[in-house]
Structure 1
Amino acid sequence: MARTDYLDDPDAPDPTSIVIAASAFVIDGGGRLLMIRRTDSGLHALPGGRHELGETMTQAAVRETREETGVDIEVTGLIGIYSNPAHVVQFTDGEVRQEFSICFRARPVSGEPRTSDESTEVRWVEPPELKALEIHPSIRLRIEHGFEQRSEPYYT
């Protein structure tokens, strides 16, 4: 199922749902960031996805990262809460989603990067490489906040 992200677009469709999601800003010992290339949009992104019933938000971040990347993580902090109503995602099945996403800081504990049905590429990215990657502005904001080492979480 393909997706189209809209940000501050007056022609964006109205949302039909809201989804709670978690993402992970995972830095390895060499300062590299774990990134995926999404199968549904082709964009580079942080690993993450939908919160499921019966799990905590940190468990969602750990599960989604493992599913999408093959890397097991430990959550070490909170980067921010992202709920911009001007950012909606339209899917080919007709759903238009306003996401409510919590981005966590994490470190890898085991596993090796590998692709999944949600990721066509998974790799550790050196910070200078990020400028050249095609990343949605909403994800770039989370990455910027992660590298800033903010004393307080970001929230909208």
Structure 2
Amino acid sequence: MANYIQDLRELVGNTKVILVGCGVLVFDADGRLLLHRRTDNGKWGIPSGFMELGEKAEETARREVYEETGLRLGKLDFFGIYSGKEREVTLPNGHELMAVKIAFTCRDYEGEPHVNDHESHEVRFFPLEELPADFNPTQLHYLEDLLSGETPPFIK
């Protein structure tokens, strides 16, 4: 598959762009949340990543979870969509972007979670009351909404 973001960056450099990202809050039978420790910033976060050309949102979500954790997902449920100025970031490599994030939940998967590519140091399930303190700050909104007691979907 071509790498859309790499091709785009060759054209625009670090100029701010809008990118669509998809992530999944995966839960095991005990209600624990799957997280992976990212290699780019060392923080824990939900499996997620940016859409490639031609992909549907669900396809991106499934691909990213498989790439980062080795799990094959079944039924996905819509959790929320996040956009706006709060999603503007500058990545460690200098790339600027505003993310439009589409999030799903999943309780139906096959496989055992494991480090499956270069993007993860560690992969494991956490009880919601024992989530790691060193959580990816660009994904805290997922946890806030998850723990808010409100019913999805979240449109922010």
TM-score range, shorter chain: 0.7 to 0.9
CA apart distance, 1:92: 4.1
- The number of aligned residues is 142
* Deviation, structure 1 residue 90: 1.8
Say what the alpha-carbon RMSD is for the aligned residues: 2.0
TM-score (norm 1): 0.81
Question: Which residue identity does 2:54 align to in structure 1?
Answer: G
Tell me the equivalent position of 2:3: none
Q: List aligned pairs for 1:61-76, cutoff 5 A.
A: 61-76=61-76
Quote how far apart the aligned CAs of 1:137 are: 4.0
Pair 1:44-2:44 in alignment: yes
TM-score (norm 2): 0.81
Report the alpha carbon displacement of residue 133 of structure 1 after superposing the two structures with TM: 2.7
Residue pair 1:51, 1:60 contacting (<8 A) in 2 also: yes
SS of residue paired to 1:30: coil
1:17 matched to 2:17: yes
Q: Distance in 2 between matches of 1:91 and 1:141?
A: 18
Q: What residue in structure 2 maps to residue 11 of structure 1?
A: none
Whole-angstrom CA distance in 2 between matches of 1:155 and 1:111: 31
Residues 113 and 68 of structure 1: CA distance in aligned 2, closer, same or farther (over 3 Å)? same
CA distance in 1, matches of 2:91, 2:76: 32
Question: Is this contact kept in 2: 1:15–1:88, CA < 8 A?
Answer: no
Task: Tell me the CA shift for residue 87 of structure 1.
Answer: 3.2
- SS of the aligned residue for 1:86 comes to helix
Instruction: Choose 50-59 or 90-99, whichever is displaced more.
Output: 90-99
Secondary structure, counterpart of 1:59 in structure 2: helix
User: 2:25 is aligned with what amino acid?
Assistant: F
1:152 CA drift (Å): 4.2
Q: Kindly state the Cα deviation for residue 74 of structure 1 after the two structures are TM-superposed.
A: 2.2
| More deviation, 79-88/146-155 | 146-155
Amino acid aligned to 1:122: V
Mean CA deviation greater in 109-118 or 132-141 = 132-141
8 Å CA contact 1:23–1:61 kept in 2: the answer is yes
Q: Of Structure 1 and Structure 2, which has the larger fraction of its residues in strand? A: 1
In structure 1, runs of 5+ residues without a counterpart are 1-13
Contact in 2 for aligned 1:35/1:123 (Cα 8 Å): yes
Shift of 1:54: 2.0
Q: 1:114 aligns to what?
A: 114
Equivalent position of 1:126 in the other structure: 127
1:53 is matched with: 53
Change (3 A) 1:75 1:102: farther
Matches within 5 A, 1:19-38: 19-38=19-38
Identity rate, percent: 33
